[in-house]
Amino acid sequence: MFFAITFLLLSVGCVLAAEAFPIDSIVWTNQLGSNVTFSIEKTNTNTNGQVSGYYTSAVGITGRHPLVGWAVGGRVISWTVKWQDQEHPNFFSVTSWNGYVDREFHSIVANWLLTSFTGAVWNSTLIGEDVFKPII
């Protein structure tokens, strides 16, 4: 009986710890070395809200770029980066990531669409996937 109660308490503690794993106020890095930070303006619950932050790209248009998006249920996140800035005024491109928080592996797995104005419709959008891990 003691072992059953101990196992139950440990199981509940693991689930609660997994549920409490935050995604905001952490620097996340992907497989290419790009970093992202999120700030979530929470709405009616602790897990839903509008996302803002910065994406620092290690490839392509490097540097720090603002992002906007949404977080839902503490499990799903979406954000978009506009790559046009003062250094690149003629770069008409955005990337949007949609993904989920994998609490078991402490990561964010997200598919992305990079859309650019290229003059040709057939090659204007690229598709890929990133896995972000927290920098500790």
For 25-32, the CB contacts below 8 A with 24+ separation are 26/134, 26/135, 27/134, 27/135, 28/108, 28/132, 28/133, 28/134, 28/135, 29/132, 29/133, 29/135, 30/130, 30/131, 30/132, 30/133, 31/130, 31/131, 32/58, 32/59, 32/130
> Can you give the pLDDT of all 136 residues of the chain as single tens digits?
434 333 333 333 333 334 445 677 789 999 999 999 998 887 666 668 899 999 999 998 888 999 999 998 889 999 999 998 878 788 889 999 999 999 888 999 999 999 998 777 778 999 999 999 999 7
pTM: 0.79
CATH code for position 90: 2.40.128.30
Domain of 90, in residue numbers: 2-134
Total domains in the fold of the chain: 1
